[in-house]
Structure 1
Amino acid sequence: MIHEAKATAPFTFDDAAELVANIGILPLAPLIPEHPSLKGLTREEDWHTDTELDPWQWRVRFPGESKAAYGKFLKKKAVLVARDWFPYFAAALGSSLSLKERYDRGLSGREALIVLEIIKAKEGIETRQLRSEAEMKAKEKKTAFDNALNELQGSVDIVISGVRPRLNAAGDKNGWNSTSFETAANWMRESGIEPFAGDKEEAIAWLKARIEPVWSPEAAAWIQKLWAKTK
């Protein structure tokens, strides 16, 4: 079983890709008990350096190279999910109901419904444009907008597809890069990944069979509680 240790040597993207393929789910920061995180496996001095060893850059590279899906899928925290695991992960942790059905039953907010429809129409849309088109640019609507994005990632309806530079009216870079979003279905389609055709229980069984040999008992128990809470 793999546990997190203090990083003393350089940890490369290839190292991370091999690990994600093996354990299936890797949070960016410590989240799952007795389970590694990208933060713990890498050296602090490598972060935000814009070098090949910068893990902050990998969050874009993983989905871009179709090696792993990326998003705030667990407890509103950023997680990488291996491409082979993702269809089962989505079925296990996502809802069996469509967002419209959840909205009609009072299980989802109107803002999430609006945001998802825009993302479906404009796959890969960046945050600032998305917020504008959702008519949530006002300061008092920021929380509702952020909550909608968190909800849609938590239900695995959308993924973070990358970041785009913010440009001013003249087309010059202006400020921090902006996160872009696409539907999970579109990311899988573009990555050549077939969606899982079975039900939630079958997806969980598939994941459990792969988790048990490489996850700690504490980590496995933690995620199984999340599976039990989704509807």
Structure 2
Amino acid sequence: MKEVIGKLGILPLASLLPEHPSVTGLTLAENWHSDTELDPWSWRARFPGEGVAAYGKFIRKKAVLVSSEWFPAYTAAAGSQLSLEERYDSGLCSREALTLLQIIRDNQGIETRELRTLADMKAKEKKTAFDNAVTELQGTLDIVISGVKERHNAAGEKNGWNSTSFETVSHWMADYKIPAFKGTREEAVTWLRSRMEQEWHPGAVKWLGKVLSW
């Protein structure tokens, strides 16, 4: 799968782009949640943890893997040129998103449960607002899902579902010595289009360009 991600640059977890592969479409159903080396569900933590690909809900609130080679250009092309604070002052992001990003900046790799606690969003009625804000930050390329942490009880035994952890995009890239794209947004779009047109179906290239207003 690493080779596929390296070749295509962008690989959704489930079907998303027209005439374009996805992880579910390329793998066997029986391998999912099998806790084996072939379990695609584990790749969403393993690949970011190896610096192979960034992972997050980057396109239409859907989970996507973006290769480390393509990610700098993708963030330059699809991310905002403004800081989140500037976007908040302009009414372009939610207060919850701003709060969460400030916490993640100070606690890189923080897991979901701790993030909700520090943001005072642990209450059941705040879960939707929390989920929406986390998804918003991924869509604007402010954060990535950097891994999955096991939950343990007081005795150190595994207890309950694994918990997603988050980092800022800049921190994740720095960790794996992935340089930022040197160029303008337009140059990043041109770079991506050139690579996509070599490997993708024209319908997928057109669809992504329309979705991201390229």
For the aligned pair, the TM-score class normalised by the smaller chain equals over 0.9
- The code of the aligned residue for 1:30 comes to S
- The code of the aligned residue for 2:210 comes to K
2: CA distance, partners of 1:116 / 1:198: 25
The answer to whether structure 1 residue 178 and structure 2 residue 156 are counterparts is no
Counterpart of 1:221 in structure 2 is: 206
Retained in 2: the 8 A contact 1:71–1:78?
A: yes
Counterpart secondary structure, 1:185: helix
- The code of the aligned residue for 2:11 comes to L
- Name the Cα RMSD after superposition: 1.0
- The code of the aligned residue for 1:202 comes to E
- Measured after TM superposition, the shift of residue 61 of structure 1 is 1.1
Counterpart of 1:77 in structure 2 is: 62
1: CA distance, partners of 2:203 / 2:193: 13
Counterpart of 1:88 in structure 2 is: 73
- The code of the aligned residue for 2:140 comes to S
The answer to whether structure 1 residue 58 and structure 2 residue 34 are counterparts is no
Which stretches in structure 1 are left out of the alignment for 5+ residues? 1-15
The answer to whether structure 1 residue 44 and structure 2 residue 35 are counterparts is no
Counterpart of 2:118 in structure 1 is: 133
Counterpart secondary structure, 1:31: coil
Task: Give every structure 1 segment of 4 or more consecutive aligned residues whose post-TM-superposition deviation is greater than 4 Å.
Answer: none
- Measured after TM superposition, the shift of residue 172 of structure 1 is 2.8
- Measured after TM superposition, the shift of residue 133 of structure 1 is 0.2
Counterpart secondary structure, 2:198: coil
Counterpart of 1:97 in structure 2 is: 82
Counterpart of 1:113 in structure 2 is: 98
Q: Deviations over 1:112-143 (max 9, x none)?
A: 00000100000000000000000001111111
1: CA distance, partners of 2:213 / 2:164: 30
Retained in 2: the 8 A contact 1:93–1:226?
A: no
2: CA distance, partners of 1:79 / 1:39: 12
Counterpart secondary structure, 1:136: coil
1: CA distance, partners of 2:91 / 2:154: 41
- Measured after TM superposition, the shift of residue 170 of structure 1 is 3.8
- Measured after TM superposition, the shift of residue 213 of structure 1 is 1.2
Counterpart secondary structure, 2:56: strand
2: CA distance, partners of 1:147 / 1:157: 14
Q: Deviations over 1:152-206 (max 9, x none)?
A: 0001110001100112334332100000000110110001101113221111000
Q: TM-score, normalised by structure 1?
A: 0.90
2: CA distance, partners of 1:138 / 1:63: 30
Counterpart of 2:53 in structure 1 is: 68
2: CA distance, partners of 1:69 / 1:220: 20
- Measured after TM superposition, the shift of residue 55 of structure 1 is 0.6
- The code of the aligned residue for 2:161 comes to W
Identity of aligned residues (%): 62
1: CA distance, partners of 2:99 / 2:155: 30
1: CA distance, partners of 2:159 / 2:37: 24
Q: TM-score, normalised by structure 2?
A: 0.97
After TM superposition, the structure 1 = structure 2 runs for residues 127-166 of structure 1, keeping only pairs within 5 Å, are 127-166=112-151
- The code of the aligned residue for 2:2 comes to A
Counterpart secondary structure, 2:173: helix
